[in-house]
A and B are shown apart, each in its own frame.
Chain A
Amino acid sequence: MTFTPRIGVYVCHCGINIAATVDVGAVTQWAAGLPGVVVSRDYTYMCSDPGQALIQNDIRELGLNRVVVASCSPRMHEPTFRAAVSAVDLNPYCFEMANIREQCSWVHPAAETTTQKAMHLVGSAVAKAALLQPLEQRQAPTTPAALVIGGGIAGMQAALDIADAGFEVTLVERTSSLGGHVGLLHRTFPTLEPTADLLGAIVERATHHERLRVLTEAEVTAVGGFVGNFDVDIRHGHEEEKVKVGAIIVASGFDVFDARRRPELGYGVYPEVITTPEFEQLSQSEVKINGREPKNVVFIQCVGSRDQALGHPYCSRVCCMVTAKQARLVRERLPNARVTVFYMDVRAFGKGFEEFYDATRQAGVLYRRGNPSELIRRGDRVVVRAEDTLLGEPVEVEADLVILAVGMAPRADTDALAGLLKLARSSDGFFMEAHPKLRPVDTAMAGIFLAGACQGPKDITETIAQARAAAATAMIPLMRGEVTVEAATSVVDEELCAGCGQCASICTFGALTLHPTKGVMVSNAVLCQGCGACATACPSGAINVRHFTFDQVMAQINVVSDFRAPVFSAAPAEAEVASPS
Chain B
Amino acid sequence: MSTVRFSALKVVAEALTGHKGWGPLWRNPDPQPDYDYIIIGGGGHGLATAYYLSNTFRQARIAVLERGWLGQGNIGRNTTIIRSNYLLPGNEPFYEFSMKLWENMEQAFNFNAMVSQRGIINLIHTDGQRDAYRRRGNAMLLAGADAELLSREQVRELCPFLNFDNARFPIKGALTQRRAGTARHDGVAWGYARGADQKGVDLIQNCEVTGLRIENGRVLGVDTSRGYIGAKKVGVAVAGNSSRVMAMAGMRLPIESHVLQAFVSEGLKPVIPGVITFGAGHFYVSQSDKGGLVFGGDIDGYNSYAQRGNLPVFEDVAEGGMALMPMIGRARLLRSWGGIMDMSMDGTPIIDRTPVAGLYLNAGWCYGGFKATPASGYAFAHLLATDTPHETARFLRLDRFERGLVIDEKGVGATPNLH
Q: Does B associate with A? A: no
